[in-house]
Chain A
């Protein structure tokens, strides 16, 4: 039977990072990806924080296909017919090393896989790993369409819907409250148009988040990222709310409504939709993690539930890259001892615990509970908009004093919960 040292299932960020690290250490590695090419199945929103991963592969990042570095963050609360935006820009965001970048999953992974192959790893596309070779619960290799390949260790980097972790008995059933559905459209516009509309210079980009009535009270948010020659526009919707709701609207109808909002129309006007995609993402952070290692197997990236909605940002990409690299490190150590048992591979979890991955996921472990609060997605953006309307609008009646206007709103039934929720948000 064919035998290799290590097999990586999935050429996403986690798998490619693991394979790159292994190949760099001259460890024999085979990457198996089910898409036509690396990137064919990788949906992401769009923003990667750079600083946490900068030191991992310093030789790579200068030539990476970054779309734009983010120089401005915008948070927009929307109610039915008004919106309130907070804009944050920071001079430092324009200094190298840049703080964060937008990327497109397909473009980025295609490039990354190229680098992985150049380092000597074998990347095979168009093949799906159907099963694991199991011997008394120990993972001994993979099964691909009837053919078997043995390996000392398999790294499951097969994304949120990981079937490999399941087959190894490392993860159980997925619960709707732990996951969200992301739907996204990519809209092509010329770089000049993007730069003009968003007041950007070449290579500069913005990240904008929308909360409020666009999700019709469901847990969720809208996002907009500028890429080089297109815009990523999408919605993230909690699957529990989506399932329970009887609004009779389809996810793509919500997306279309979002696109038709007056805040969005002028930004995408004249653009051509070039792709429509959807993918689930894990929202539960550390609580929803499967077991991360077993005999002959490690789990990395989204497959290990290492993605999280941290309030104003969805994070997963840095976790995927870092966990892939740490899994490779654990394999390197195991290979030295020639021991690929769960005991030896448990080093992976230790490495993770010392890294930013675990620390961040742990710090934000309460985020899912805080975010499960429907007021955040309905009443508060509405409240903010109403207050602004009262402050800004001059009608026929004489205008009331500022303090009365505000305090009247704040005396409403919402005030107490706002205080309570702000505190919880703060603690998060």
Chain B
């Protein structure tokens, strides 16, 4: 059985600082790392591999070159990896990304299970998985919090608002997983050392038979602004004796609509 894991490289959110004037994140110089949800995806693929005979192939597209993410995937249990790096990926919208992934997955071929995160750690659009399924004409099960391979089917428990749903689909299938699905283990240093000797391929756009013009049509979503909400503090100081201060505080909170009477 062949499992393809799509892994996205994201900026290290813990390192992001905000520009106080523009209220925009300062992205320059921020290290690029593998997304958190990708760790769950790889853990799940590795877990399946431990139970069934399976080959795990990591696929990452991005710019700058997602070589760190590829290594991380190989360290976390992928058997081999395919990387596609091109400046065009920097501005591509979800449909564009899904198109490229789908083409690459087609080229990899012979897939039984395609795993992605339910949404990326940075954009969290949640669209890529469903679109890949659509393009490849495969069934999709999203938000998996439990996954089991039963013969030639996947059985998946997905979390809905206030209940769980169990779904089954026959392979090949696209599954997006949520963070609850597992607790990713930290690879040992030996895993990391081994990673660099595992097979890696680097493909260009030409390799997946997609033209730049075709892709450029996918610059469809334009980000108009990306700012953190303005925070205004009232800075009210209650300086009466304690009992009175508490009363005034409560009154004010009610007035602001923070508390209800």
Contacts and interface: CB of A to CB of B under 8 A. Distances in A.
Interface in A141-159: 144-147, 149
A32 B192 CA distance: 11
A16 to B, nearest CB: 18
A2 B192 CA distance: 12
A124 B189 contact: yes
Given A37-B31, A272-B20, A274-B17, A149 B190 contact: yes
Contacts of A145: 186, 188-189
B188 A124 contact: no
A49 interface: no
Contacts of A149: 189-190, 193
A147 B12 CA distance: 27
A2 B31 contact: no
Interface residues of B, number: 11
State the majority secondary structure of interface residues on A: strand
B196 interface: yes
Interface string A1-42: 010000000000000000000000000001010001100000
A147 B190 CA distance: 7
Interface string A114-134: 000000001010010000000
A28 B193 CA distance: 13
Given A37-B31, A122-B196, A2 B190 contact: yes
B189 A147 contact: yes
Interface in B166-201: 186, 188-190, 192-193, 196
Given A272-B20, A274-B17, A127 B192 contact: yes
A37 B32 CA distance: 11
Contacts, number: 28
Contacts of B192: 124, 127
Contact of B31 (A30, A32, A36, A127): A36
Interface residues of A, number: 15
Contacts of A124: 189, 192-193
A383 B65 CA distance: 60
A144 B193 CA distance: 12
A47 B117 CA distance: 46
A122 B189 contact: no
Contact of A146 (B12, B188, B196): B188
A122 B193 CA distance: 8
Contacts of B31: 36-37
Most buried by B among A30, A32, A146, A147: A147
Contacts of A146: 188
Of the candidates B12, B188, B196, the one having the most CB atoms from chain A within 10 angstroms of its own CB is B188
B193 A2 contact: yes
Given A36-B31, A37-B31, A144 B189 contact: yes
A10 B196 CA distance: 20
A309 B83 CA distance: 49
A408 B20 CA distance: 54
Given A272-B20, A274-B17, A147 B196 contact: no
Interface in A168-223: none
A272 B20 CA distance: 10
Given A147-B188, A147-B189, 13 more contacts: A2-B190, A2-B193, A32-B189, A37-B31, A122-B193, A122-B196, A124-B189, A127-B189, A144-B188, A146-B188, A147-B190, A149-B190, A272-B20
22 contacts: A2-B190, A2-B193, A30-B193, A32-B189, A36-B12, A36-B31, A122-B193, A122-B196, A124-B189, A124-B193, A127-B192, A144-B188, A144-B189, A145-B186, A145-B188, A145-B189, A146-B188, A147-B188, A147-B190, A149-B190, A149-B193, A274-B17
Closest 4 CB pairs of A and B: A144-B189, A147-B188, A127-B189, A147-B190
